[in-house]
Amino acid sequence: MELLMILAPVAALVALGYALFVALSVKKAGEGTDRMKSIAASIRRGASAYLKRQYKTVGIFFAVVFVVLIVLAFGFGLVNKFTPFAFLTGGILSGLSGFIGMNIAVSANVRTANAAEKSLNSGLRIAFRAGSVMGFVVVGLGLVDFSLWYFITTYAFKMSPEAVTNAMITFGLGASSMALFARVGGGIFTKAADVGADLVGKVEAGIPEDDPRNPAVIADNVGDNVGDVAGMGADLYESYVGSLLSAAALGYAALGNILGIVIPVGIAAIGIFASLIGTLFVRTGEKLSSKSLLKALRRGTYIASAISALGSLAFILLVDIDHYFLFFAMLIGLVAGVAIGFFTEYFTSDNYRPTKNLAKSTQTGSATEIISGLSLGMLSTVLPVLIVAATIIVSFLVCGGTVEDPKMGLFGIGIAAVGMLSTLGITLATDAYGPIADNAGGIAQMSDMPEYVRERTDALDALGNTTAATGKGFAIGSAALTALALLSSFINLVDSETLNLSIMNPAVLIGLFIGCMLPFLFSALTMSAIGKSAESVVLEVRRQFRDMPGLLDGTVDPDYHTCVDLCTKSSLKQMILPSIITVCAPILVGLLLGISGVAGMLLGSTSTGFMLAIMMSNSGGAWDNAKKYIENGNFEGKGSQNHKAAVVGDTVGDPFKDTSGPSINILIKLLSIVSIVFASVIAAFPSIF
Amino acid sequence: MELLMILAPVAALVALGYALFVALSVKKAGEGTDRMKSIAASIRRGASAYLKRQYKTVGIFFAVVFVVLIVLAFGFGLVNKFTPFAFLTGGILSGLSGFIGMNIAVSANVRTANAAEKSLNSGLRIAFRAGSVMGFVVVGLGLVDFSLWYFITTYAFKMSPEAVTNAMITFGLGASSMALFARVGGGIFTKAADVGADLVGKVEAGIPEDDPRNPAVIADNVGDNVGDVAGMGADLYESYVGSLLSAAALGYAALGNILGIVIPVGIAAIGIFASLIGTLFVRTGEKLSSKSLLKALRRGTYIASAISALGSLAFILLVDIDHYFLFFAMLIGLVAGVAIGFFTEYFTSDNYRPTKNLAKSTQTGSATEIISGLSLGMLSTVLPVLIVAATIIVSFLVCGGTVEDPKMGLFGIGIAAVGMLSTLGITLATDAYGPIADNAGGIAQMSDMPEYVRERTDALDALGNTTAATGKGFAIGSAALTALALLSSFINLVDSETLNLSIMNPAVLIGLFIGCMLPFLFSALTMSAIGKSAESVVLEVRRQFRDMPGLLDGTVDPDYHTCVDLCTKSSLKQMILPSIITVCAPILVGLLLGISGVAGMLLGSTSTGFMLAIMMSNSGGAWDNAKKYIENGNFEGKGSQNHKAAVVGDTVGDPFKDTSGPSINILIKLLSIVSIVFASVIAAFPSIF
């Protein structure tokens, strides 16, 4: 049985090998004219500059935490002695996957634009294949990290499986911390640049979007890459590794043997093969409409899901026919992920009634559109909650969990989380496709490519909006399930016998209230961070328009670099406070209220964070698409009063959907993992109850 | 000791007698010119028409629920046999207090306008005294309801105190149901009328606010009374009765003797006397600025609080010196109420930085102001949560509650809730003052009173905005504490020994997720209800402007009645769905997940509802005051682009602060009380876990 653990590194190598192969083939495609090359180079330089500075900031953070962990581990024995080192590998591998994913994305955008000149399909293929590099690097490196520590602790240190799983559950801290910087920092960067570029360029100077005369335009394009590609990748890397680690820990606790680890790892490995096969089916005939392009992407995802389910069924029957029911937990998780994605699309795509009605509400002005959009976002929380609830119920009960002896049931929930994320390779490919297509459109605009090319990149971009919305739904759904699995692991880890986790325990109650408040506080901080960062961009763009006379005529090139630099500095500075709060909250609550209080806090932040993240993402997505719907000629079209109202909605939605909403995913997972790592520290102090 | 229960009816009579005395003295004041009388009569007619129709709808609802309760009580024995009748008295008395409060409010508005012609202070006195009628009627009738059933069950039916408290805890259902209609229905009415009047009158026809040519202007004024006076009154009536009932039940469970009932009742009675004395101190010298007016109101509240605290201390030492520490629980509750009110003011008043900064953010347009306002509202949840957390911790620990034996601690929480609400008489007076002053301003405008009168009514109105904001903070704070006390009573009521309330029980977990979702769903529904109702008003106002040619010249009077009628019908129709969801949710969750699931749901809805209500109320209040701040000449003043941006924010904030936010108070309390009433029904069915 132990031999089956070899599946993890094998699948990792397959994923990385495939990613390398695809990356090389993308790089071979042509980059187009010199103008295009020069713009692409600016974006690439900006993105690299951001990443470099981000890694420097992250480096300081990692160094401090590493020292703290070393002291706690070797000085006080309060933290597992592998944790400090696993913290580093997690951070490095997560950072590496972001680095690779973003590099291929900034290489692919110009190639997508160039390929779109040939045909719509060539453009789609380049963008999707580049996205799949990101997808497979994330799952590949995630499994590398997992395998590395599994084999080191098991074979080099001869630790028991129980000790291995309990130690490894703390190993997600590195990936989580990196995700915080990538998702939150990148999110602030991208929206500060976007808002700054729009406010001065579009509104004040009256030049179109993506106009090369706008000094912030490159920063805006860089933002798409650092926020939407690297941020999304780090977010899901964390979910992937977190769900795997917690499922393994819950599995060993439930089954009492190595099968509890082998089964989740097997499901993950099979998911990689399934995703790989799925991507091969994403091919398109000539001259497809945007709708049938979506179908092509969906076909790939559905095929991957089917193969993943059948493969997992076969695998489970093969290794442990007595626990055949674990398959149903995996299946419900997989289906739940797809279902949440679908309902996200329903609420945010202009093919359906909610967004059409939202566009209609612009007829009575921007205020009513804002109210309708907020109301839409709130309403859209209902189905995802019911889906998650059903997933928990089914995966818990089907695995034989009872209130008295929940261990098997909790393992079921862990397996559901792994099932949901099993096809991450292809799901993430579809997500990362979006910003690449978006950037390709920007490059086409800036390099004055023919009208028909821009129409094609617009079509690709529109498809990207849909996949971005479903991707966000999937990201928050998987984050919630992962956080719940981590919460179960946390409680398993501490001495759960003596723990009073009743909701009538005031420690739990107060912890829960504080937990519910954290997503609100976090969102407030990320939203005001964007405002502050955007302000500095606005001032800089105004300065350039004022001080560089030839700029608006196009005779002088703007100073792109300064804007990129400003966004970089400002976003990294603005994310310090939310980061500190996230890392310190579990420790402070723990010192005050003890382990029970922390458990309450985790549940509160996960549940409320889930609602708030869905609401913000969906309101934002719907506002964006309502604006596009009007721009496509509905409700009096572009330039009308209705359109102006829709632009206000879209601007409000930007930080909602691209920064604050998705950042909550990180918040809830990081709170869980910090609690797990510092559990012994918290338990070492007396609480007030 | 039992004799002390006589305090309840005595205090009730004092409160009602004082209310009657003040009401008569207000009625004696002059109504001014014929024009003023005619406008006031229109408002009064509209308000009566609304109330009549509301009571008809409520009547149907009450009849249905009464029959259901009768069947459950006498057919199946699943509900206490007094509950159906107590349901009726609760509904009738709550309705009666709304009726009286609203009647005096619509009598006082024109008299306030008229008195303001004499002096600012005369205006203030009329408005405040009319508000205090509402305050004392609410506490008086609340204690009448309590006493009535206490004496009937104890003396006519010779029930044991334990049976009495357990039966009476279900008696809040009538008040809760009435509050639902008053707060939600009234909230939808007031904002539909407001938005309808503004959109066509101010924006399309270009006539000023409160212009008598606007057909929806009377509906708008009626709305202030049915929403802000009757709705707020019913909301706090429910909190008052609910906190008293649950404290009595928790008290008997903790102390095991009648003192557990006597102490909360005594605190409430002393609070009435304290409030009465406090109101006598609300007197003002001549020519006071708006800021010192606020000081005058505050002086009354602070004096009442001090007397209430000292009186309660004396009372507790007198009747039960062994449990002297209950005083500290009462005190922390009282202080917490004042503190939440203060921080609400900090975040929403333009005397402080947050709202000033919000006004500044209009310089970059309405979108940034919306983002800043939402961010402000989210940030403003932090302190109230910490205050509530501190209140729970202190009141629990100081009374000797432990995790193993929480009974005394839970009683402490109940006492804190009673303490917070003990000075409701004067707090509510300050709240009800606001809409009266607002209406007085409207009447002054419509009846073309001299400029200086309008300036005075504007000053009174500005003060009203502050008190309205603090009132909302107080209402949600007390609702959360009451809901928590009700939750404790609920768990005490059911067989808590066999109950697994651990957060790792999936029933609790899923219940909690669903509970967190309910405030979002409820807010989405109330916000879209306003949109739909407002639309019908918009169409009607447009029709009148079109079909009645002399309207805009002022030669033809508009048809006010049709607009009032439309708002009435539409608001009552639109509130059906949210009401059904609120009543059915605990029963459905209970049938699926059992008592543990319901407990989780209550905690989830209370915690998330608390955040969402504060966020919505404070964002809305801040937007409103940011607009007023600009209108007072800051940031380029009225008519500027900044002002236009602020108007958008204010319009978004209207449903936030006056409908959806406050309605959540009702949601969380009603969910608790429905759960309590139907606990036996839920327990009679097997759940899936």
Q: Read out DSSP for A17-74?
A: HHHHHHHHHHHHS---SHHHHHHHHHHHHHHHHHHHHHHHHHHHHHHHHHHHHHIIII
% chain B with pLDDT above 70? 99
Distance CA B566, CA B340 (A): 37
Residue A436: the pLDDT is 92
Helices first, then strands: H and E counts in chain B: 24, 0
pLDDT value of position B197:
86
Strand partners, B502: A502
Q: Write the DSSP assignment of A556-595 as a string of letters.
A: S---HHHHHHHHHHHHHHHTHHHHHHHHHHHHHHHHHHHH
Residue B368 at interface with chain A, using a CB cutoff of 8 Å: yes
Predicted confidence (pLDDT) at residue B611 exceeds the cutoff of 80: yes
Neighbours of A152 (CB within 10 A): 16
ipTM tops the 0.85 cut: yes
pTM for this structure? 0.95
pLDDT digits (tens, 9 = 90+) for A308-361: 999 999 999 999 999 999 999 999 999 999 999 999 999 998 889 999 999 999
Contact in structure between A133 and A22 (CB atoms under 8 Å): yes
What is the distance of C-alpha A547 from the center of its chain? 40
Other Cβ atoms closer than 10 A to A428: 32
Cα torsion for A503, A504, A507, A513, to the nearest 10°? 60
pLDDT at A426 over 90: yes
Q: Is the Cβ of A513 closer than 8 Å to some Cβ of chain B? A: yes
- Decide if A678 touches B, using CB distance below 8 A: no
| DSSP H or E stretch at residue B424 | helix B424-446
Arithmetic mean of pLDDT, A9-38: 94
Amino acid present at B149:
W
Alpha-carbon gap, residue B445 to B458, rounded angstroms: 10
What helix, strand, coil percent values describe chain A, rounded to 5? 85, 0, 15
Half-sphere exposure of B338 (CA within 13 A, CB side): 19
Instruction: Tell me the residues of chain B between 334 and 363 that have a Cβ less than 8 Å away from chain A.
Output: 361
**pLDDT confidence of A288, banded at 50, 70, 90?**
low
Question: Residues A114-143, buried b or exposed e (16+ Cβ, 10 A)?
Answer: bbbbeebbbbbbbbbbbbbbbbbbbbbbbb
B368 contacts A531? CB cut-off 8 A: yes
Of A206-215, A358-367, B275-284, the least confident: A206-215
| Res B362: pLDDT | 93
pLDDT of residue B229: 87
The answer to whether the CB of A133 falls within 8 A of the CB of A433 is no
> A552: which residues sit within 8 A by CB, 6+ positions away?
A205, A207, A213, A545
What value does the mean pLDDT take over residues B524-534?
91
pLDDT at residue A289, rounded to an integer: 66
Coil vs helix vs strand at B502: strand
A523 in contact with B at a CB cutoff of 8 Å?
yes
Instruction: Tell me the residues of chain B between 655 and 674 that have a Cβ less than 8 Å away from chain A.
Output: 655
Nearest chain A residue to B198 by CA: give it. A364
Cβ-proximal residues to A594 (8 Å cutoff; 6+ apart), any chain = A507, A682, A683, A686, A687, A688, A689
Q: Are B537 and B563 in contact (CB under 8 A)?
A: yes
- The CB density around residue A317, as the number of other CB atoms within 10 Å, is 12
Q: Please tell me the predicted confidence (pLDDT) of residue A57.
A: 87
Residue A212, classed as helix, strand or coil, is coil
Across B577-607, b (16+ Cβ under 10 Å) vs e yields: ebbebbbebbbebbbbbbbbbbbbbbbbbbb
Contact A375 B508 (CB under 8 A): no
Q: Is the pLDDT of residue B495 over 80?
A: no
**Residue A3 neighbours by CB under 8 Å, 6+ apart:** none
The verdict on a CB contact (< 8 Å) between A379 and B538 is no
Counting every residue written for chain B, the total comes to 689
- The answer to whether B604 contacts chain A (CB < 8 Å) is yes
User: Looking at residues B225-234, what average pLDDT do you find?
Assistant: 88
User: Is B368 within 8 Å of A514 when comparing Cβ atoms?
Assistant: no
Which residues neighbour B223 within 8 Å (Cβ) at sequence distance 6 or greater? B186, B189, B190, B191, B192, B193, B194, B567
Sign of the torsion angle spanned by Cα atoms A97, A99, A104, A105: positive
Which range (A40-49, A405-414, B325-334, B389-398) has the least confidence?
Answer: A40-49
Chain A residues closer than 8 Å to B523 by CB: 375, 378
Interface residue B378 vs chain A (CB under 8 A): yes
Question: Using the beta-carbon criterion (under 8 Å), do A521 and B370 form an inter-chain contact?
Answer: no
Contact B487, B406 (CB under 8 A): no
Closest among B688, B277, B275, B668 to B481, alpha carbons compared: B668
Residue A502: beta bridge partners?
B502
3-state secondary structure of A502: strand
- Is residue A286's pLDDT more than 60? no
Lowest mean pLDDT among A189-193, A286-290, A491-495, B131-135: A286-290
What backbone phi and psi angles, to 5 degrees, belong to B12?
Answer: -60, -45
Q: Quick check: helix, strand or coil at residue B633?
A: coil
Distances (CA, A) of A33 to A44, A113, A213, B227: 16, 11, 19, 65
Q: How far is CA B388 from its chain centroid?
A: 18
Please indicate if any CB of chain B lies within 8 Å of the CB of A502: yes
Cα(B645)–Cα(A159) distance, rounded to whole angstroms?
64
Average pLDDT for residues A263-274, to the nearest whole number?
97
Band of residue B413 on the pLDDT scale cut at 50, 70, 90: very high
Average pLDDT estimate for A103-129: 91
The Cα–Cα gap between A621 and A624 comes to 5
Give CA–CA dist A151/A158, Å, rounded.
9
Tell me if B242 sits within 8 A of B176, measured CB to CB. Answer: yes
A479, containing H or E segment: helix A451-493
Mean pLDDT over residues A183-199, rounded? 88
Q: Does the beta-carbon distance from A503 to B600 stay under 8 Å?
A: yes
Q: What's the token pair of residue B148? A: 């009535």
Lookup result for tokens 């380049």: A126
Residue A502: φ, ψ to 5°: -65, 145
Position B496 confidence tier, pLDDT thresholds 50, 70, 90: low
DSSP code of residue B74: I
Question: Taking CB atoms and an 8 Å limit, are B513 and A652 in contact across chains?
Answer: no
Nearest to B506 among A409, A503, A510 (CB): A409
The three-point CA angle B669-B670-B676 to 5° equals: 95
**B contact test, residue of A199, A353, A378 with most B CBs within 10 A:** A378
**Pairs across A and B, CB distance < 8 A:** 227
Q: What angle do CA A231, A233, A235 make, to 5 degrees?
A: 70
Question: Measured between alpha carbons, how far is residue A108 from residues A23, A26, A41, A128, B638 in Å?
Answer: 9, 7, 12, 9, 51
CB-based contact (8 Å) between A603 and chain B? Answer: yes
Label residue A287 by pLDDT band (50, 70, 90): low
**Whose CA is closest to A488, among A161, A162, A253, A173?**
A253
Do the Cβ atoms of A361 and B531 come within 8 Å?
yes
Residue B286 above 60 pLDDT? no
Residue A417 scores a pLDDT above 80: yes
Nearest to A367 among B524, B608, B652 (CB): B652
- Give B641-677 pLDDT, tens digit per residue: 999 999 999 999 999 999 999 999 999 999 999 999 9
- Taking CB atoms and an 8 Å limit, are A651 and B368 in contact across chains? yes
Are A224 and A652 a contacting pair, CB within 8 Å? no
Q: Please name the residue of chain B whose CA is at the shortest distance from the CA of residue A364.
A: B199
Query: Under a CB-based contact definition with an 8 Å cutoff, are residues A26 and A429 in contact?
Result: no
Residues in chain B with CB shorter than 8 Å from the CB of A388 are 513
E strand or H helix that includes residue B109: helix B83-118
Q: Taking residues B379-397, what's their average pLDDT?
A: 96
Which of 462-501 (A) contact B at CB < 8 A? 484, 488, 491, 500-501
The string of DSSP codes covering A320-385 is: -GGGTTHHHHHHHHHHHHHHHHHHHHHHH-TTSHHHHHHHHGGGG-HHHHHHHHHHHHHHTTHHHH
pLDDT at site B289: 66
Q: Which pLDDT band holds residue B463 (cuts at 50, 70, 90)?
A: confident
Among B194, B607, B627, B663, most A C-beta atoms within 10 A, so best to mutate, is B607
